[in-house]
Amino acid sequence: MTSQKVLRRILIGAVILVGLVLGIQWLTSLQGDLDLGTASTVGMIAAVQLEDDGQSAVIVKEDGTVVKNNGWQPGNQDRDLAWDPDGQRLFFVSDRQEETFHVYRWNPDKNNVPEKRSIDKAGRSSMFFDLEKHSETDRTALITTRGTVQRFNPKDGSFTQVLPPSNSAGATEEGGSTTAMEGTYGRLGGTSFRNAVWLKERTWAAAVMRTDDGEILLVQPLFSADGKPTRPQVIMAAKKIDMAVNPKTGALVFTFMDFQFPPNQPIPEESIKNGKVVRPFAHGIGLFDPSAETAFGLVAGVPDDKTCFSSPAVSPDGASFVVVVGEYTGDGSIDARGLFSIPFEVGGASKGSPLLEGEVYEPSWNPAGDKLVYIRKTGSNRAIYSCDSSGGGERNLTGDKGDFMKPIFSPQVK
C-alpha cells in the first residue's frame, strides 16, 4: 500500500472521528429531546376554546381560521397556554392522560399530536416564559406544582423548586421541601401559589399566593451576597390580583381588586381612625421595580366599587400597558366596561386614555406592538377580536365559531 493511500485513509478516519464527536456533542445538547424542525407561527393567536364537554387549546389564524390541536378528546381540559419565547412551540397543561394535569408541547404549524413533557403524576398549572434577552438561550419556565413554584426545563422534562426557596437536596419533582422558609411563607398567611413570574433578569421572582380569604402578592430575591436564604416581601393583599412583566425592564405591574390588609401583620396606625380600620383604597394598580430607588408605587387607587381593574398587559417596548376597567361585582370579579392604555410609571393613570368600550377581557399584544387581541363578550358569545394599538380597526376574528378565552399572540416576528 502506498504512502498516499495510507495518508488518505488516515484523513478519512480523522474526518469520521470528528463527525462522530460532533454528533455525540449535538445529541448531548438535545438532552434526549428530539423535537426537531422549525415552525412558522407569525400572526398566530393561541387560545382556549370552550367546548360542550371540556376545553381545547386552539390556534386562530389571521384570517379567522380555528385549528384545534390533534389528540383532543371530549372531556379533556386544556388550559394555561404559554408560547416558547421564540414562538416555535406552544405549551399548555391538560388532563388528557392519567387524569393529571401534565405539561404538553405542540407544534401548531404542523398540528402534530401534542407531546407530554412531564412524567410524574404531579398536577401543574400557570406556566410563564419570560421574554427578556437571556430567554434566547435559557428557555426554561416557571410553573406551579402542588402549591409550589418550580422551574421547568422543556428539553429534559425536569422540575426544580424555586418557591419556597429550598437549600435541601431533598427537594423533589413532587413539590416536596422541608426548609424553614416554608414556615416563613406559611406565617404570611398563604396556603399555595397560584402563579409566578421572573423579574429583573431572573434575579427576583414575584408570585401570587392564595390565602383563606383572597390572595397575596409577594416578591422574593433569588440571590444574596452571602448565599443565605432571603426573605419574601409582601407587596399587596386583595381578593384578586393579576400581574404582568415589563419585557424591557423586568419590572412588575399588577392590578388588585378588593384591597385587604395582609393577614398576620399589624395594621398601620394611619389606617385606624376613631377606633375603626379604614382601607386606604378599594381597588387599584401598582408597580414594583427591584432596580428603582423606591421599588413599590401606585399607578392608581380608587375608593369605591364603581371602578376597578384587571388583566394588565405590557406593550413590547415597555412604555405602557393596557388594562381592563370596569365595575367591581364582588368576589374578585369585574363587570368590564372598556380597555385603557396607561404609561408604565407611578401615577400614570392620570395620563391614561381609553382604547375600547364594552365588555372586553384578557388583552394581549402582538410582538410588533401595533395590535392587540382580546375577548369581547356580546350576549353569551365570547369571540376573539383584534384592534390597532390606538383602539381603531377592530375586527371580529372568530365570529360565531365558538366561545374562547385567554388569547395570546405568538412572539414570533418576520
Whats the size of the chain, residue-wise? Answer: 414
Task: Report the b/e string of 299-323 with b at 16+ CB within 10 A.
Answer: bbbbeebebbbbbbbbbbebebbbb
| pLDDT of the residue at 177 | 46
| pLDDT of the residue at 13 | 59
SS3 of 91-139: the string is EEEEEEECCEEEEEEECCCCCCCCEECCCCCCCEEEEECCCCHHHHCCC
pLDDT of the chain, 414 residues: tens digit per residue: 566 665 666 666 555 554 444 444 433 444 456 576 899 999 999 999 999 999 999 999 999 999 999 999 999 999 999 999 999 999 999 999 988 999 999 999 999 999 999 988 899 999 999 876 655 667 899 999 999 999 999 988 899 999 988 654 344 444 444 454 567 787 888 889 999 999 999 999 999 999 999 999 999 999 887 777 788 999 999 999 999 999 999 999 999 999 999 988 889 889 999 989 999 999 999 999 999 999 999 999 999 999 999 999 999 999 999 999 999 999 999 999 999 999 999 999 999 999 999 999 999 999 999 999 999 998 889 999 999 999 999 999 999 999 999 999 999 987
C-alpha cell at 49: 376554546
Signed CA dihedral, 116, 150, 89, 30: sign only: negative
Q: Is 351 helix (H, G, I), strand (E, B) or coil?
A: helix
| pLDDT of the residue at 23 | 43
| pLDDT of the residue at 207 | 98
Is residue 337 within 8 A of residue 326, CB to CB? The reply is yes
Q: Which amino acid is at 209?
A: M
d(CA 221, CA 288): 13
Sheet holding 395-396, edge to edge: 360-365, 371-378, 381-388, 395-396
d(CA 40, CA 83): 13
